[in-house]
Structure 1
């Protein structure tokens, strides 16, 4: 599937893809954190047919429903691309094979090319090496930095439950 990413200056980021049935679907991540799910007219992919606005929490729940293991959240205000480095948040959701896993931060960095720079748990920011070993659990959000391929590899690594 091809996903088009478009920066919307002063608004946020728009992602648009076409389903197997030919429907054009979009997600707009506003700088405020609000998300919109957008359906476009079948015969005119630039005309909005309908849209649903979601706040941050609603968007996280929908994301969890669509992908129950690990969801890479590219649409947060935290994400910024700067000189090839991407910062992102990866929530650990119910059913994740990473629930309870102890992260070997050096191994993750050498294997994926991305670095875990923090874990957010119950509103508290845990920054390695403050707490070694770093055990993650459902409800945590892994904050990572690295090149896009490294972030993707880290997401796959967390989704696999491999240690």
Structure 2
């Protein structure tokens, strides 16, 4: 199908969290506010005033997961490979395989220290055709998982390296 390019705007909301917005091909704007607490709000902007929201829908973790399933997260994630943030440089979304020889097969995501070590985020795992969004630090990897990573090119490459090789001596895995 090729690469899908969508302009995603990110805004830090001091004391609140982060807002991500995008304009649809029909000209409408939608967004998600991720609060520091983890709460997410879906925002639909007013078609007559794109700076004002016409509706805000708070989502629990289960509701956010259900919405991802409704939107067919595995299809959407596969199509988002190569997404670029046109404002502040390249933002890469890539699926990284957990190969059978990976040192992290059977180990929790938190052991990778991926975010701390690379700045990239693991936002989902695709396992046997099922999308598992927002895995926590206790999520255990299995051989064959596809890990969806978001970050700079260097950050995504760093996560790929982490999942393929053990940590250097003296560092946690």
TM-score by length of 1: 0.53
1:153 is displaced (CA, Å) by: 10
Q: Which structure has more strand as a fraction of its residues?
A: 1
1:148 maps to which residue? 152
How many residues in Structure 1 have an aligned counterpart in Structure 2? 114
CA distance in structure 2 between the aligned counterparts of 1:93 and 1:44, rounded to whole angstroms: 41
How many Å separate the matches in 2 of 1:10 and 1:20? 32
Give deviations 1:71-120, integer Å, cap 9, x for gaps: 57xxxxx9x977962233323356249xxxxxxxxxxxxxxxxxxxx771
Structure 1 residue 90 corresponds to structure 2 residue 124: yes
Q: Does residue 1:23 correspond to 2:57, yes or no?
A: no
CA contact (8 A) 2:10 2:18 kept: yes
Matches within 5 A, 1:42-53: 42-53=47-58
The 8 Å contact of residues 120 and 143 in structure 1, kept in 2 or not, is answered as no
Unpaired runs of at least 5, structure 2: 1-5, 78-92, 94-109, 132-136, 161-173
* Cα-Cα RMSD: 4.0
Report the counterpart of residue 62 of structure 2 in structure 1: 57
> Is contact 1:69–1:94 with CA below 8 Å preserved after alignment?
no
**2:68 maps to 1:34:** no
List gaps (5 residues or longer) in structure 1.
73-77, 98-117, 127-133, 156-163
Question: Secondary structure at the residue paired with 1:69?
Answer: helix
